[in-house]
Structure 1
């Protein structure tokens, strides 16, 4: 089976996630949660109340990522951003969930203005945008990044599913003509025990809703694998009836106990050998474009899940700074060499407050990840030298 490795209208995506911006995660921005019991965006807004949550989140939205960051991304050679957003993006029209308590509509209004700015800045600096429904009503995975920690009920009510589809279509209609729009992701990380047939039904409807406004020549429809083997989607959304579809996989090595107990050589081998073999298999057999939509250099579970239970051992805990720098460089290179096989990859995430191994900007500035902008400059110099040699000959 032949699978396209790049988007119909462009080159390979080398991108970052803009996590912790429009969907809060406590470990990304712990300062926002200081003094609160909240563990996710829902409990954050409920605990603070509308006025104070609005004040704090508007300040956060306007300062956490700005136009200057998009300029930096362009200079660093990044060509795409994946933008996680919550189902509340369009305002107070979402279904109620009991976690809201007495607040019928707890979420802060105004995030759509930020999305508009993202498209403005992406257009200015030549970046492409993948919109990602990261938090669905009722929560699709029970994670804090799904909006409600410890709850996974999105798939239990048709009104939750219907609202998700409505949000996707409204986004497709609003941004479908914008040249910076690259793709729309139907849902981020639905939990592994949600029935595959339900996810297929939802994703098919999402494809159809998005295609009303975004033709395949311009926009990729993306769906996450739902933490299951890609073969469960065999024959689903395939050409010629369906075009420009990508499957999204996420690859971390800090959550499963076998990975946590692995030394750095095991992590590098897994990245360079096991995940490479997996990549070859998915590309060869799936029939989709493939994105690695999330990966990082994080190996310490404690810093990413502030409420996780230990033990919190990890591969770098006994290393000095020199050894850690070498380890991060090797680990980053092994992952990048593998993920370059795919149609695109997106590091999680662009910026964090206290965890540099999860911050793309910190990783580039520390030299752990290559500066793609400098790489592009070197490629241009090499091309000029090659041309000069040809002329001299």
Structure 2
């Protein structure tokens, strides 16, 4: 970007042309608005019309300025996901992208309504274009450029989809010849006067699919003459007629179109396969199978190993008729595409949710099993379905959708939901189904990518790239001050979890439930997963593990510790964290942040008096109780798929090292009874660096033992200085040397930088991003990895990893996105 050429992008978004010049500084100014603003610019600043004009004027070359960063696109996870579905290693978990190029008024009615075209008499692509007349190119270009965008592919990728079934028409492939009306067709079909321009968006779909790890299943949705007289097949007359099977030319032209699509995309890295004909209806089976045979042969000239899907008749066939069982002998990677809707009559279309759900769980399940047993030579794709129903109790919609997802995932090839966008209502939008939480975690293709990411960090194949989730169940007023302020509790004299609960009194259960249920949610885990976070360090207290016994005050403790009267309820959210971690490929590192008696007298350790005192090391009971709590956590979560490990004690301060090491030894033995290979992390005293002799010599014979060090830059010391260059220099040199010294002097233990932030006291805040990037790059050299403090932005953007991502301060090489 150059401001003198495209100054409106700067001016209309409040970005100074001088101090924010160029692409990077502009994007930093735009922040979270950048993707939308830049997409708008990119899609309009240069268009195909400009290329046409240049060609008309005799221009034969364009010199195209690009940046080094644009080439970095697909992550390894996305490459693997696409490769796995293409090879058949994983099943299809996909979405249709209906009404993008083959128009359906019920899905994109605004195109009809805003242009004075009747949705009924002008249904489908052809009749709509005829109604639009000379306006058609501009109207359709506006629709094509906005109805589905790269952002949709990015979102589908984030959600774990691995294929899109893309409805196309027979005519778009002739755009390079000036359109079907100007092309030299081998067959006489009519009409041919479709507008051009759609093929460019098919090209974009392949480009975006390759970039985001999504395969393209090209679906012949609208064949010449209409194969079903539905609006989705672009009928050319009203009332609509299906004439595809009546004329050899229609079928011959469809073969030619399919071959041209195969010729254009047959070797494209994003190609998954071809659906030869969508929903053929009421026609001669012999003619349909003859077409399939010829189209198969034509495609195989250009695409030897892609999936090819055929459809039985829409009117009542199930794919287990003899003529479908016997068809296709010798054809490779042949699948059958069935459509299972629940709101067009039949067994599942009933007002009683229990009856409809029962139909899915029994009848549909049996239909899938029957196909598998009777037609084993073909894979089975449920190519269209939705959550649509006619229930008398809409609150059961989600339950119905989940039943469908779980049953339809049993189809041998997989499924593609109809459709992605919500123009036709939430029950028809896979995007909305995800947002409602109706898509079970086990059925998305991303689960494999996320499973791999989680497995890799758990095994030590990859390092930790993580975030703390502080002040969720162990409270800190500087991070969640609204809980104190809105309930008239003094942040200072009532600091930490215990004193806050005492201040709240009888209100505590309701106030804390409200906080727990909103401060961190599954959306945060999904967002962390999207950004490539593979571990969360989760601060917990010694008391939450006693919730099943009615709380610490009612439990039969082996040690006399006081006080014990914490409220219950927090353990349910620790359970949720493990559930969400497993779902989104994020390991849980349980951190004993608040031990009985307080190990540091900081608010983060839940002091029980004011002024706060540190008593953990003064009484054997405190240390013994901490061992017991850690063992109970290990007993509850030791075999959980999301467990990454345990931090035994956060930030111990000013105490006898011998007592600490005795606690670590006893806790290690207790945890290992229930978790044989998880990572175990110990902390030195806050004043130590981990290379003291007593730490070098500690832990002989302990497996997967690591040390947790905290590197802050705003609490005094070398990096805490007003000059950004000096602070950045300290990170790049001194911190780097400290990490290297630990690795050389204490090689028996891995090093985790368990807490750090972008916090600083600069005299030039515009350098905050430079400082953060230096930290990320240097701290990524720690042998075990890092966990930033913290995720949420309640304490300011410099303390929020989420905001660091939004600002573009997190280098791509330090995280593991799927």
Query: Taking structure 2 as the reference length, what is the TM-score of the superposition?
Result: 0.42
2:113 is aligned with 1:43: no
- Select which of 59, 62, 83 maps to 2:142: 59
In 1, the alpha carbon distance for the partners of 2:267 and 2:86 equals 17
Please list the CA deviations of residues 345-371 of structure 1 after superposition, one character each: whole Å capped at 9, or x if unmatched. 000000032411101111211223346
In 2, the alpha carbon distance for the partners of 1:275 and 1:355 equals 24
The 5 Å alignment of 1:1-393 reads 8-34=87-113, 35-37=116-118, 38-49=122-133, 51-89=134-172, 90=174, 91-92=179-180, 93=183, 95-97=188-190, 105-148=192-235, 150-191=240-281, 193-216=282-305, 219-227=306-314, 228-230=317-319, 231=321, 232-238=323-329, 241-256=330-345, 259-286=348-375, 287-299=377-389, 314-316=390-392, 319=393, 324-325=394-395, 327-342=396-411, 343-370=413-440, 372=444, 376=450, 378-379=582-583, 380=585, 381=587, 383=641, 385=643, 389-391=675-677
Distance apart, 1:383 and its partner CA? 4.7
User: How many residues matched?
Assistant: 355
Please list the CA deviations of residues 97-131 of structure 1 after superposition, one character each: whole Å capped at 9, or x if unmatched. 3xx5xxxx432201111111001000001111100
The structure, 1 or 2, with the larger RCO (C-alpha pairs under 8 Å, 6+ apart) is 1
Distance apart, 1:66 and its partner CA? 0.6
SS in 1 for 2:157: helix
In 2, the alpha carbon distance for the partners of 1:158 and 1:390 equals 69
Is the Cα–Cα contact under 8 Å of residues 130 and 184 in structure 1 kept in the other structure?
A: yes
Alignment match, 2:721 = none
In 2, the alpha carbon distance for the partners of 1:202 and 1:122 equals 29
SS in 1 for 2:313: coil
SS in 1 for 2:255: helix
In 2, the alpha carbon distance for the partners of 1:39 and 1:370 equals 35
In 1, the alpha carbon distance for the partners of 2:168 and 2:642 equals 43
Distance apart, 1:48 and its partner CA? 1.3
In 2, the alpha carbon distance for the partners of 1:333 and 1:296 equals 11
SS in 2 for 1:336: helix
Please list the CA deviations of residues 144-196 of structure 1 after superposition, one character each: whole Å capped at 9, or x if unmatched. 001116211000111111110001101111111111111111100000x2111
Q: 1:253 to 1:384 in 2, by over 3 A?
A: closer
Q: 1:260 to 1:150 in 2, by over 3 A?
A: farther
In 2, the alpha carbon distance for the partners of 1:244 and 1:254 equals 31
Distance apart, 1:260 and its partner CA? 4.0
Q: 1:119 to 1:360 in 2, by over 3 A?
A: same
Is the Cα–Cα contact under 8 Å of residues 46 and 106 in structure 1 kept in the other structure?
A: no
SS in 2 for 1:84: strand
Post-superposition, which runs of at least 4 consecutive aligned residues in structure 1 deviate over 3 A? 6-10, 93-97, 257-262, 370-377, 379-384, 386-390
Larger Rg: 2
Is the Cα–Cα contact under 8 Å of residues 29 and 352 in structure 1 kept in the other structure?
A: no
Q: 1:200 to 1:141 in 2, by over 3 A?
A: same
Q: 1:187 to 1:108 in 2, by over 3 A?
A: same
Please list the CA deviations of residues 231-262 of structure 1 after superposition, one character each: whole Å capped at 9, or x if unmatched. 23122113xx2210110000001112665444
In 1, the alpha carbon distance for the partners of 2:168 and 2:140 equals 14
Distance apart, 1:384 and its partner CA? 5.7
Q: Which runs of 5+ in 2 are unaligned?
A: 1-84, 451-580, 588-639, 647-674, 679-702, 704-818
Q: 1:281 to 1:257 in 2, by over 3 A?
A: closer
Is the Cα–Cα contact under 8 Å of residues 218 and 275 in structure 2 kept in the other structure?
A: yes
In 1, the alpha carbon distance for the partners of 2:272 and 2:253 equals 23
In 1, the alpha carbon distance for the partners of 2:256 and 2:189 equals 16
Q: 1:53 to 1:275 in 2, by over 3 A?
A: same
Please list the CA deviations of residues 68-103 of structure 1 after superposition, one character each: whole Å capped at 9, or x if unmatched. 111100111111100000111122246543xx5xxx
Please list the CA deviations of residues 247-298 of structure 1 after superposition, one character each: whole Å capped at 9, or x if unmatched. 0000001112665444222211111110001101101221211100000011
In 1, the alpha carbon distance for the partners of 2:367 and 2:676 equals 40
Q: Which runs of 5+ in 1 are unaligned?
A: 1-5, 300-313
In 1, the alpha carbon distance for the partners of 2:89 and 2:218 equals 17
In 2, the alpha carbon distance for the partners of 1:199 and 1:233 equals 11
Which stretch shifts more, 374-383 or 289-298?
Answer: 374-383
SS in 2 for 1:391: coil
Distance apart, 1:386 and its partner CA? 7.7
In 1, the alpha carbon distance for the partners of 2:89 and 2:146 equals 31
